[in-house]
Amino acid sequence: MKQAARSRRQESSEVLDALKVCLPSFGGVAAFSAVVNILALTGSIYMLQLYDRVLSSRSISTLVGLSLIVLAAYLLQGGLDALRGKMLARIGARFDELLSRRVFDLVAAMPLKGAKSSESLQPIRDLDQIRGFLSSLGPTAMFDMPFMPIFFVGCFIIHPWLGWMSVIGGVVIILLTLYTDAKSKGPAYELAKSGAERQMMAESSRRNAEVIRALGMTNFLGIRYAKVHTKHVDAGLVSSESTSGISAFAKVFRMVLQSGILGLAAYLVIQGEVSGGSMIAASIMMSRALAPIEIAVANWKGFTAARQGYHRLEHILSVVPAQEQRMPLPGPKQRIVLDDIYVGAPGGQQAIVQAAALELRAGQGLGLIGPSASGKSTLARAIVGVWPTLRGDIRLDGAAVEQWESDDLGRHIGYLPQDVELFDGTVAENISRFRHEPSPESIIKAAQTAGAHELILGLPDGYDTHIGEGGASLSGGQRQRVALARALYGDPFLVVLDEPNASLDGAGDEALNGAILSVRNRGGIVIVITHRPAALGNVDMVGIMEEGRIKALGPRDEVLQSVMKRNATPAVPPAAPRAAPGTSLREVG
């Protein structure tokens, strides 16, 4: 218990801090609520005056005067109520503004921490739920509740029996609300969880629509989706059934209570203990006293969702804290060193890459080959700072990659992942990494270095061509060339290319080798991971990875010759060695 309490105290307070920033605005809402609740007495007072003063005096002028005053009071109440609603909407927008960028950083960082797709998008849904509740009528109930005793006291003033009936009715409704909350917590959580799973599956199917149609997977995935959807619907039924009976009873109880106080007041009128106007006034006062409770009940689902979202968001913000401001470091220009590093997948402790050590200096190029699942891509992710090391350090000019701001480090790194992903936008925006007002010369230079300039000019709108989500309007080779230009944008010191020629033809291979040579000639370092020997033409070093370890590392020709000797057999004719490098590399890679 003590550890749990300590853990809660240590959790991030960023969400609470954002709410505190909005406190002055909440103070304005509270002030408006006070006036609105005082003006809510207008109806009761008007009824009392009509029955006890106007009807007995039969004065038309008194009736007109009272009616005009009441009309003004109602107009003022309605205007203040509308302003209160607008203020709450702006509070919700302000709260969202304070946390939206931080939540986006979470969404971008959580997959690197081993989170599932549905979990990665949960912070956005949580923020939406909190903002939605803050912008709704739900918070008005909390501001109105402190004024409930005024109306209960008014009922007691008219007659103690009416007062006690109002108080007992309010207590019963509150107990029903608390019971509803207790019953709905578990089902509401399961409903949100199954909804996220369904959304994740639908999004995955949308992204892979071509594969699903081409491989005839529509029916099979439809069956799987139906199971997930049925699970979500069942969770919705359980959530609804857990509270529907209570809600129906509460609704009937409120109607019985409303009629009951009229009946009790009528009895007291007959007994001569209260006037006819008091009967109507008591009914209005009790209705107003219970109004905040009824608003709270009506918005209880939104409150529950916002509360769960608050706790989830507060927790995840503490698990993935904001990156501290770091001292800006000069751009690397000399070397990269891997000091006996161990790397595993995010969220796991199993090392995929073990005891990897190497040093590359400015102007060098390394080709990394090896069989599938030997750890090459894992090593690439660690080198560019995407996956953290379990042990050991990766240093650029002596500074560990963790010492850099992520965006600052990214300016000095070019990375082409094995699975190329482009973003919805123009070709120029993708190449420039969506920089604000990038230099057109830098974009064109990167495209020319990647051998993609002529290719881009052949597109319908050239560099201004919108490529759609994931680069849907481009072929695989075009996407890879544009992604290569993106990796080369800004002349980064370290360029890591993971299977850069997987979708390239002969001309693409030639352009790739030209790009590798250009990086080396300007004093950069390039690391190429490949299964195809065509990409090794302009590197001077080659490393071989097997079972997560760098088994061999050295000058390109020496390492490749050792590979050929190791894979040679007596059946190979003596004249074949010159053709063997391609075959050997494919066997190793």
Q: List alpha helices for 299-439, DSSP H.
A: 300-319, 376-383, 406-410, 427-431
Q: How far apart are the C-alpha atoms of 6 and 348, rounded to whole Å? A: 25
> How many C-beta neighbours within 10 Å does residue 168 have?
11
| CA-angle at 486, arms to 481 and 488, nearest 5° | 95
Q: How far apart are the C-alpha atoms of 98 and 90, rounded to whole Å? A: 12
pLDDT band at 114 (very low <50, low <70, confident <90, very high): low
Phi, psi torsion values for 12, nearest 5 degrees: -60, 145
Q: DSSP 3-state assignment of 235?
A: helix
pLDDT of residue 586: 33
pTM for the model: 0.69
pLDDT band at 428 (very low <50, low <70, confident <90, very high): very high
Q: Tokens in use for 452?
A: 């993609």
> How many C-beta neighbours within 10 Å does residue 326 have?
13
**Mean pLDDT, rounded, for 172-183:** 78
Mind giving me the DSSP string for 318-330? Answer: HHSPPPPP----P
pLDDT of residue 420: 84
Burial track 478-516 (b if 16+ CB lie within 10 A, e otherwise): bbbbbbbbbbbbbbbbbbbbbbbbbbbeeebbebbbebb
On the question of pLDDT at 572 being above 60, the answer is no
Residues of the chain with pLDDT > 70, as a percent, come to 90
Strands ordered across the beta sheet of 351-361: 351-361, 335-344, 389-396, 399-400
pLDDT band at 211 (very low <50, low <70, confident <90, very high): low
CATH number of the structural domain 11-319: 1.20.1560.10
Q: Which of 207, 182, 18, 153 is nearest to 94 (CA)?
A: 18
Return the residue matching tokens 């709905």.
184
Burial track 49-86 (b if 16+ CB lie within 10 A, e otherwise): bbbeebeeeeeeeebeebeeebeebeeebeebbeebbe
- Going from the C-alpha of 53 to that of each of 59, 74, 530, the distances in angstroms are 9, 21, 96
Q: Tokens in use for 255?
A: 């109607």
On the question of pLDDT at 321 being above 80, the answer is no
**Mean pLDDT, rounded, for 336-357:** 87
The residues near 69 (Cβ < 8 Å, ≥ 6 apart) are none
Tens of pLDDT, residues 521-568: 999 999 999 887 777 888 989 999 988 898 888 888 888 887 777 766
Q: List alpha helices for 110-147, DSSP H.
A: 117-134, 138-144
| CA-angle at 588, arms to 587 and 589, nearest 5° | 95
On the question of pLDDT at 302 being above 70, the answer is yes
The structural domains of the chain, with segments of one domain joined by +, span 11-319, 335-567
Beta-strand pair 541-546/549-555:
antiparallel
Compute the residue count for the chain. Answer: 589
Q: How far apart are the C-alpha atoms of 310 and 532, rounded to whole Å? A: 50
pLDDT of residue 335: 92
End-to-end CA distance of the chain: 53
Phi, psi torsion values for 540, nearest 5 degrees: -105, -10
User: CA 165, 166, 169, 175: dihedral to nearest 10 degrees?
Assistant: -130
Contact (CB, 8 A) for 292 and 141: yes
pLDDT band at 166 (very low <50, low <70, confident <90, very high): confident
Mind giving me the DSSP string for 149-200? Answer: HHHHHHHHHH-HHHHHHHHHHHHHHHHHHHHHHHHHHHHHHHHHHHHHHHHH
Q: Which residues pair with 339 in a beta bridge?
A: 393
Beta-strand pair 335-344/389-396:
antiparallel
Q: Which residues pair with 391 in a beta bridge?
A: 342
More confident residue, 51 or 411: 411
Return the residue matching tokens 């699942």.
373
Maximum mean pLDDT: which of 121-125, 276-280, 450-454, 562-566: 450-454
In one-letter notation, the amino acid at residue 452 is A
Stated as kind and residue range, the H or E segment containing 358 is strand 351-361
Stated as kind and residue range, the H or E segment containing 465 is none
On the question of pLDDT at 234 being above 90, the answer is no
More confident residue, 488 or 324: 488
Contact (CB, 8 A) for 567 and 588: yes
Q: Which of 9, 97, 14, 98 is nearest to 322 (CA)?
A: 14
Q: How far apart are the C-alpha atoms of 449 and 515, rounded to whole Å? A: 5
| CA-angle at 61, arms to 59 and 64, nearest 5° | 115
Tens of pLDDT, residues 75-91: 998 898 888 888 988 99
> How many C-beta neighbours within 10 Å does residue 263 have?
11
Relative orientation angle of helices 556-567 and 580-588, to the nearest 10 degrees? 80
Q: Which residues pair with 395 in a beta bridge?
A: 337, 400
Q: DSSP 3-state assignment of 554?
A: strand
On the question of pLDDT at 441 being above 90, the answer is yes
pLDDT band at 501 (very low <50, low <70, confident <90, very high): confident
Mean pLDDT of the chain: 81
pLDDT band at 8 (very low <50, low <70, confident <90, very high): very low
**Mean pLDDT, rounded, for 229-246:** 75
Q: How far apart are the C-alpha atoms of 388 and 416, rounded to whole Å? A: 18
**Mean pLDDT, rounded, for 266-272:** 85
CATH number of the structural domain 335-567: 3.40.50.300
Q: How far apart are the C-alpha atoms of 287 and 82, rounded to whole Å? A: 21
Mind giving me the DSSP string for 43-87? Answer: HHHHHHHIIIIIHHHT-HHHHHHHHHHHHHHHHHHHHHHHHHHHH
User: Residue 579 burial by CB count (10 A; 0-12/13-18/19+): exposed, middle or buried?
Assistant: exposed
Q: DSSP 3-state assignment of 133?
A: helix
